[in-house]
Amino acid sequence: MIDSLHQKSLDLLRTALQDPGAEFRAGQWEIIGQLVNENAHLLVVQRTGWGKSIVYFIATKLLRDRGTGPTLLISPLLALMRNQISAAERIGLTAKTINSSNHEEWDQIYHDLEEGKIDILIISPERLSNEEFREKLIPLAQTVGLFVIDEAHCISDWGHDFRPDYQRILRILQVLPENIPLLATTATANDRVIKDIRAQIGERLGVFRGPLGRASLILQNIIIPSRAGRLAWLAENIPGMPGSGIIYTMTVKDSDRVAQWLQSQGIDARAYSGESDSSMREEMEQDLLDNKIKVLVATSALGMGFDKPDLGFVIHYQRPMSVVAYYQQVGRAGRSLPQAYGILLAGEEDQDIVEYFIKSAFPREDHVTTILKELEKAADGLSVPMIEACTNLSRSQIENVFKIISVETPSPVVKDGSRYHATATTYTINKEKIERLTSLRHAEWNRINDYVRSSKCLMEFLQRDLEDRDATPCGKCAVCVGHALLPEEPSDARVTKARRFLYTNQHVISPRLVWPSGISFSPENWHGRIPEELRANPGRALSSWGDGGWGEFVKSGKRADHFDNKLVDAMRDLIVNQWKPDPMPTWVTCVPSLRKKTLVKNFAMALAGALKIPFVNCIRKIKETNPQKMMKNSFMQVSNLDSAFEIDQDTIMEGPVLLIDDMVDSRWTFTILSAMLQSAGSGPVYPYALTDTQGKDVL
């Protein structure tokens, strides 16, 4: 029986891999056998590329042939789902996914599940936050043939990528029949994480743990503080890299910036992030899989489970937050190649970016208290926009609170449609836990810095940090061979080009189209959609705050209370030679300030002189307001500016106008003044800012 089952499994493996001589790796068959024959509960900790997914695909096929229910697979990322569906189909399995991007398919999928036409249902853990979905899922959970939790380290708050929604999986486990086999998989779990996973899922959970070394990877770390230096290094070294690869950045802005730079240097690169359109992400993934592009410049949105066996290199533009996160990402490279590069570039901005992410990982206690108090007062509950209107909290801050407290058992909130309601549960934020995990994140950051400076084998360092008992020197990393594998310094000429590129980091300021819900802006009583005749035209920002180009000059100018004349020349050049607004502005005005009365005004006057058009001081600020940076959502940002300005009707001009400010973030100051100017009789308004501070360049 077992021999025939083994042969059938081996045939399925060879079909899936399209290799008639393929054999199971150590442990794969044993895991399949225990799942199928013993209804085992297993945690498999194996390196990326080992073949964890093929194990549960074959187990699913064998169980389905016996007449069991479908496999329920919890999978964290859409990129992973697409890979898994394609792989499952190769051995005759029908796999479907329910996620936020295919809502129109849900009814058909539910119907096909009831008809037994689906072998694997793949869902994201975030789907479990939907109460209606959970109600449909619980009956299904009682009929599944196999339950799989991919990237199981996300269950543990000790894990490098803890996700609160993974805690909801534990509720599903409570309704699973005891005889249902369970498989949890991960490539990144040390002893502490394994212990925590077992405590949560159950001590019945057996552990299969393999060596984590990657023989094909050759590793090197290079410290290049400046963005210009790293951009230059990428441009000089990527053309010689084998095949195609991935560059990981810590921010969306950097993924865009690096991709644009590489394109300007004749390298086929695309930017990939959570902000990319879903269909575009899928297209870019496929282009990378098919080697149609040289490099995908990606945030962590291209993360767990993306499977391209012949990926020739993974480069980090900045240090990631932890050794474990680095191992997860660099392990994408060289799964089926004899040699692939893993290069970590360390920059001067890395520390600030990581500190921001650590600081914003958990909600503040006062944010939780504020939201719960507002919910307790609202008999009919509150939606997120309604909470914005009665608290000075951003949407991301509000959603971060709900992400944490809604997975508590019992939860202090319940969601009905779009509204949250307070329950009778008294909730106190676990400050000790947050402090413990924040301390852990700082310790992890210190370890990645130790890795960058390591004088011992880099692969062995990674393995030992993951507590791999089989860690030994790799003999091929830059430390082991005693010299750089790739040049450590780019040429001066290329650095100069990169620096010049950073000084062209201007981008569009898109106009706001709608006033915030619930706002009636006085004295004009504006609300709803902003009429086209009052709307700002698309504007420009010369730089991003701290971008390594003009953004650095803006930072210095803010500190010195005077902007360098080089910024005047740069803005004039952008307007006249690059932007070329049509119709061209015939006069200049600026956003006034009661705190720094001359900083922006003097700059706007100098720019008007350079453009040889008049400066008109026609906007007056008549009420002190809080700094807009302190206002965390659109409702509060607009309310803060209500009745703060007036237009001098005697001085306003009729032609198109350039509206100058030093910084732009929410765009509401530009939106309000553009409407006021045009209502008072000006021509089209073109907003222009020295720098964009949105997200402080880390979102």
Question: Which tens digits make up the pLDDT trace of 238-266?
Answer: 999 999 999 999 999 899 999 999 999 99
pLDDT per residue as tens digits for the range 420-456 = 999 999 998 888 988 998 999 999 999 999 999 999 9
Distance CA 357, CA 320 (A): 11
Element (H, E) at 497: helix 492-502
Are the C-beta atoms of residues 55 and 33 closer than 8 Å to each other? no
> Are 384 and 452 contained in the same domain?
no
The CATH number of whichever domain residue 335 belongs to comes to: 3.40.50.300
Q: In this structure, is residue 65 part of a structural domain?
A: yes
User: Can you tell me the distance from the alpha carbon of 680 to that of 682, in angstroms, rounded to the nearest whole number?
Assistant: 6
Q: Are residues 486 and 572 in the same domain?
A: no
pLDDT value, residue 699: 28
Do 256 and 383 fall within a single domain?
no
Q: Are 128 and 137 in contact (CB under 8 A)?
A: yes
What is the spatial distance between Cα 127 and Cα 124, in angstroms, rounded to a whole number? 6
How many domains does the structure of the chain reveal? Answer: 4
- Looking at residue 375, its pLDDT comes to 96
Q: For residue 683, with 0-12 CB atoms within 10 Å meaning exposed, 13-18 middle and 19 or more buried, which class applies?
A: middle
How many Å apart are CA 109 and CA 81, to the nearest integer? 15
On whether residue 584 sits in a domain, the answer given is yes
Do 580 and 454 reside in the same domain of the chain? no
417: left (phi over 0), alpha (psi -120 to 50) or beta: left
pLDDT of the residue at 343: 98
226 and 167: one domain?
no
Both tokens assigned to 233: 């290094």
Examine the domain organization and report whether 26 and 145 are in the same domain. Answer: yes
Q: Are residues 486 and 449 in the same domain?
A: yes
Q: Give the domain extent around 226.
A: 217-355+439-491
Q: Do 375 and 417 fall into the same domain?
A: yes
Cis peptide leading into 487, omega within 30 of 0?
no
Provide the residue type at 613 as one letter. Answer: I
Q: Does residue 433 form part of some domain?
A: no
Q: What is the SS3 assignment for 612?
A: coil
Closest CA to 30 of 11, 44, 16: 44
* Greatest pairwise CA separation for the chain in angstroms: 95
Kindly state whether residue 255 falls inside one of the protein's structural domains: yes
Nearest to 304 by CA among 506, 116, 161: 161
Residue 222: CB atoms within 10 A of its CB come to 21
- Residue 434 belongs to a domain: no
CATH code of residue 560: 3.40.50
* Assigned domain for 596 exists: yes
pLDDT score recorded for residue 17: 85
Tokens of 61: 């096929």
Residue at token pair 């910084």: 663
Residues 174 and 277 in one domain: no
Regions of the chain with pLDDT less than 70: 1-2, 77-84, 159-161, 303-305, 695-699
pLDDT of residue 398: 95
Terminal alpha carbon distance of the chain? 56
**Cis peptide, bond prior to residue 410, ω within 30 of zero:** yes
Domain stops at, among 379, 398, 428? 428
Amino acid identity for residue 123 in this structure: I
Extended beta strands in 569-621, E state: 587-590, 619-621
Tell me: do 201 and 221 sit in the same domain: no
Answer yes or no: is 530 within a domain.
yes
Rounded CA-CA distance 548/499 in Å is 8
Q: The CATH number of the domain where 368 resides is what? A: 1.10.10.10
Alpha helices, DSSP H, located in 123-185: 131-141, 169-175
- In angstroms, the CA 616 to CA 657 distance is 10
- Half-sphere CA count of 684, side-chain side, radius 13 A: 12
DSSP assignment of 339-386 equals -EEEEEEE-TTHHHHHHHHHHTSS--HHHHHHHHHHHHH-TT-B-HHH
Task: Please indicate, yes or no, whether residues 252 and 369 belong to a single structural domain of this protein.
Answer: no
**Residue where a domain stops, chosen among 428, 447, 464:** 428
Q: What is the pLDDT of residue 307?
A: 79
Residue type, 536: A
- Do 194 and 231 lie in one domain? The reply is no
Domain boundary among 190, 209, 228: 209
Is 498 part of a structural domain of the chain? no
